[in-house]
Structure 1
């Protein structure tokens, strides 16, 4: 029991240090005053992948980097930039994978073709399976 307590006492300070001491960006968790501008910002944030989590959009992620990206999107929307221009800037800076909708290119075509190929392969396997069952 003493060993477990000693390990916990050693690990507790490390867990406390895992939280960032940097305050969140100004607009990371604060909505814009203009509801239409906030709607445009939110629609864009839903389509951008968190660079840390990678499985969540920046709108849903609690990562510090996602907060910084939300603040950046809101600042640029408030300054009058179009969402398409902000997306283009982020893609140029972080690459196509920052977007949940990567463009069709020589690098991304397997991502678009794989679902179709899997459906075709499944249909071929199913057809062969049904043919074998039908034979006496």
Structure 2
């Protein structure tokens, strides 16, 4: 009885993998290839890289898709094997909180600084002249006439 159930389960799994849509699977693989950084080239995705390690990573992703793993499972396996660096969009975690919060913080500080400088330059400054300076100013203005 148990053997029959196991055989039925194996046939069911084989049938579902045989029914998988190869076009959809390849589209999923291509999308994942664009999200994963080549660890040898460092600035290229594995979709664009010609490095042997990129070819191995593409093959592994295709095998994982064929095995029925979802995209998040595949990303997590890659992250566990190659660290967060392998993903172009790393997950949000406390360890990289500074990396996520620093750019908006710099933009806000820059906008605040520009606002402060603009406001500061609009303040008109008036200086009171001493009586001696007033007298000198009158003399200068009379001599110009």
TM-score by length of 2: 0.64
Deviations 1:48-106 (A, max 9, x none): 11111222211122222112111111122123222221111111111112112222222
Q: CA deviation at 1:114?
A: 0.9
Alignment of 1:34 onto 2:22: yes
Q: SS at the partner of 1:60?
A: coil
Structure with the bigger RCO (C-alpha within 8 Å, sep 6+) is 1
- d(CA) in 1 for partners of 2:120, 2:44: 44
Alignment of 1:94 onto 2:93: no
Supply the RMSD in Å over aligned alpha carbons.
1.7
Mind listing any 5+ residue stretches in structure 2 that lack a counterpart? Answer: 1-20, 125-145
Could you list the structure 1 runs, at least 4 aligned residues long, displaced by more than 4 angstroms after superposition: none
TM-score by length of 1: 0.68
Residue aligning to 1:83: 71
Mind listing any 5+ residue stretches in structure 1 that lack a counterpart? Answer: 1-32
Residues paired across the two proteins, number:
104
**Which one has the largest radius of gyration?**
2
